[in-house]
């Protein structure tokens, strides 16, 4: 269970079935902080479903923003930073860094 998807009562957690149903409806988990590992799991699931990891805001706004932030961090722009281990994990998944290749 993702720790970011807790109920309003202290310690209350919604079921996986409800999380899945809300995800399928496109529920915006606004303000929910997710770990890098949780995002990596989301990207892995996205790739299994779509065959690629070129996530756009049209596909999934939250995951698309995460991808955009990872690209910015790698370029040294924005407020975040990215470790070599995270770059490696994303590379292994086939992450699209948006590099212009000839």
Treating both helix axes as pointing N-terminal to C-terminal, what angle do 36-50 and 61-74 enclose, rounded to 10 degrees?
110
If you search the block for the tokens 């409800």, which residue do you land on?
A: 18
Q: Mean pLDDT across the stretch 25-41?
A: 79
For the segment 45-77, what is each residue's pLDDT rounded down to a tens digit? 999 999 999 998 898 998 999 999 999 999 887
Q: Average model confidence (pLDDT) for the chain?
A: 81
Tell me: pLDDT of 3 over 50.
no
Nearest-angstrom CA–CA distance, 34 and 68 = 15
């Amino acid at each position: 269970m993702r720790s970011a998807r807790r109920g309003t009562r202290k310690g209350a957690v919604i079921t996986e079935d409800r999380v899945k149903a809300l995800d399928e409806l496109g529920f915006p988990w606004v303000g929910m902080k997710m770990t890098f590992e949780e995002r990596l799991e989301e990207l892995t699931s996205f790739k299994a479903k779509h065959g690629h990891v070129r996530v756009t805001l049209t596909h999934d706004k939250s995951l698309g923003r995460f991808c955009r932030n990872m690209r910015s961090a790698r370029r040294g722009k924005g407020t975040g930073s990215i470790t070599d281990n995270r770059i490696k994990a994303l590379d292994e998944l086939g992450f699209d860094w948006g590099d212009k290749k000839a």
